[in-house]
Amino acid sequence: MILKQFQQYIDGQFLNADQNFESINPANATSWASMPAASANDVNRAVQAAHYALSNGSWPLLNATQRGKLLYRLAQLLEDNADAIAQIETQDTGKIKRETRAQILYIADYYRYYAGLADKVHGHQYPVDKQDMEVYSRREPIGVVAAIVPWNSQLFLSAVKLGPALAAGCTVVLKASEEAPAPLLEFARLVHEAGFPAGVVNVITGFAQDCGLTLTSHPLVSRIAFTGGPETARHIVRNSSQNLASTSLELGGKSPIIIFADADLESAANAIVSGIFAASGQSCVAGSRLLVQKSIHAPLMKLLVQKAQSIRLGDPQDLTTEMGPLATERQLQRIENLIQLSTEQGAKLLTGGSRAHEMGKGFYFQPTILDCDHDQLPCVQQEFFGPVLSVLQFEDEAQALTLANNTGFGLASGVFTKDISRAQRMVKKIRAGIVWVNTYRAISPLVPFGGFGLSGYGREAGFESILDYSRSKAVWINTSDQPIADPFVMR
């Protein structure tokens, strides 16, 4: 089979790399494309190009409104090419096209949001207690940004980094995951077409040692915006002790969805199913821990098992498919191991639990529900990043809260109840960066996104995020026409 050849995008040019690696289509476990593995030299070229573009050429001459216009153009191109890019993303990641296409169309709104914000971020004037002083601050781009993303929602996770970075006037080296880099390498063509000057956005992919380490410890990188797992985050924090770049970390989760007995069960069940089985569970906000009030455990389990068993697995390019494969064989093995460990320790399989062999060689896993009798089971504590729901029961609000917070992660959470006072009490006490009440998985460009604890630090999306890509410079101007007195002459 002839493999489709992708290129890296450095300094406004599409280039081959010395080494290539093959990318696998998870729906049939066969190689379909050849990807450029960035060497340390390639990374260095990309960072140098980004650093040069920061203060040379046309980029620093653009005013904020003009930067916004480029972002508007990129948003339009994303919309115009949504179908083609979605097809590539689906082929490389296995995420169903229904989701990839819809997500790309919504991502355009994130770029529009930051396009609009570009000329709304500015410094301040300070009425200081000194005579004849005009004091103000300027907001300036923070510098070269290393944006590093995983494979699962890479266009979205890039948009929440590139949008504010470019709006603020930064330049970027975007590193796609080596697991499925095709959509971002293809996205680079839209950046090029939109007319961003050479070096402003560079898109590369590669492996931890040559690419990741070189990028995150590079002396010309001023900010690292990372999304991925906690273990990689620890490497990145260590690497960045070289350049002391400011860093944001968007990491994993083991997010609880709490269902009280008064909740609308059908509605809650639909949210639970979408929370854990959308994207085959490969979502950082997957609602993977279900906490159910004891009195409704039996009817809710019945409903959930029915819904899980009726999910249509299939070709991810087919618009009628409801759940696609996992992205990698490694993911499949990890999930199988965790389920085995958990069932050995007492977790009970209500449905699923193994590969979907009827789907051939593809990396398909059955939608799985595990009933758990205590919260120290591996399936309750560890992130699967797959379609596996672990269920625990609680008696009352206090126990629900204890179970919800008994995790090192703290990304998202959901509460289902008709009691508004109880909902408010839970909102205050749940330790997570997002609480959804009677809904789940809703996002918007306006709303900050991020976690506590092992889920990382820093927030993406929303207005404040643009401030992370700029820095404040204080300016003091003496407006007096009197000479400054000699400080060593006593009067």
State the catalytic residues. 250, 284
How far apart CA 133 and CA 214 sit, in angstroms, is 45
107 binds ligand NAD (CB under 6 A): no
Q: How far is the CB of 234 from ligand NAD (least distance, A)?
A: 9
Is the sign of the CA dihedral 245, 449, 363, 387 positive or negative? positive
How far apart CA 329 and CA 334 sit, in angstroms, is 9
Of residues 231 and 266, the one with the C-beta less far from ligand NAD: 231
Of residues 6 and 385, the one with the C-beta less far from ligand NAD: 385
Stretch that binds ligand NAD, among 29-37, 91-99, 230-238, 295-303 (CB under 6 A): 230-238
92 binds ligand NAD (CB under 6 A): no
Tell me which of 232, 240, 288, 321 binds ligand NAD, using CB under 6 A: 232
Instruction: Give burial (CB, 10 Å; 0-12/13-18/19+) of 231.
Output: exposed
Q: How far is the CB of 440 from ligand NAD (least distance, A)?
A: 15
384 binds ligand NAD (CB under 6 A): no
Tell me which of 59, 110, 365, 385 binds ligand NAD, using CB under 6 A: 385
The torsion angle over the Cα atoms of residues 186, 190, 196 and 197, rounded to 10 degrees, is 50
Is the sign of the CA dihedral 194, 195, 200, 206 positive or negative? positive
Q: How far is the CB of 229 from ligand NAD (least distance, A)?
A: 4
Of residues 153 and 393, the one with the C-beta less far from ligand NAD: 153
The string over 374-401, giving b where at least 16 C-beta atoms fall within 10 Å of a residue's C-beta and e elsewhere, is ebebbbbbbbbbbbbbbbbbbeebeebb
276 binds ligand NAD (CB under 6 A): no
Quick check: 240 and 274 in contact, CB under 8 A?
no
Tell me which of 51, 95, 97, 175 binds ligand NAD, using CB under 6 A: 175
Q: Which of residues 401-440 bind ligand NAD (CB under 6 A)?
A: 411
Q: How far is the CB of 212 from ligand NAD (least distance, A)?
A: 2
Of residues 114 and 385, the one with the C-beta less far from ligand NAD: 385
Instruction: Give burial (CB, 10 Å; 0-12/13-18/19+) of 177.
Output: buried
Q: How far is the CB of 176 from ligand NAD (least distance, A)?
A: 6
141 binds ligand NAD (CB under 6 A): no
How far apart CA 487 and CA 491 sit, in angstroms, is 10
Of residues 437 and 443, the one with the C-beta less far from ligand NAD: 443
Of residues 157 and 198, the one with the C-beta less far from ligand NAD: 157
Q: How far is the CB of 251 from ligand NAD (least distance, A)?
A: 5
315 binds ligand NAD (CB under 6 A): no
223 binds ligand NAD (CB under 6 A): no
148 binds ligand NAD (CB under 6 A): yes
CA dist list (Å): 349 to 277, 306, 366, 369, 434: 16, 14, 12, 6, 29
152 binds ligand NAD (CB under 6 A): yes
CA atoms within 13 A of residue 323's CA, in its CB half-sphere = 28
377 binds ligand NAD (CB under 6 A): no
Residue among 149, 194, 213 nearest 460 (CA): 149
Stretch that binds ligand NAD, among 21-29, 110-118, 208-216, 341-349 (CB under 6 A): 208-216
Which residues contact ligand NAD (rule: CB under 6 A)? 148-153, 157, 175, 177-179, 208, 212-213, 216, 227-229, 232, 235-236, 250-253, 284, 383, 385, 411
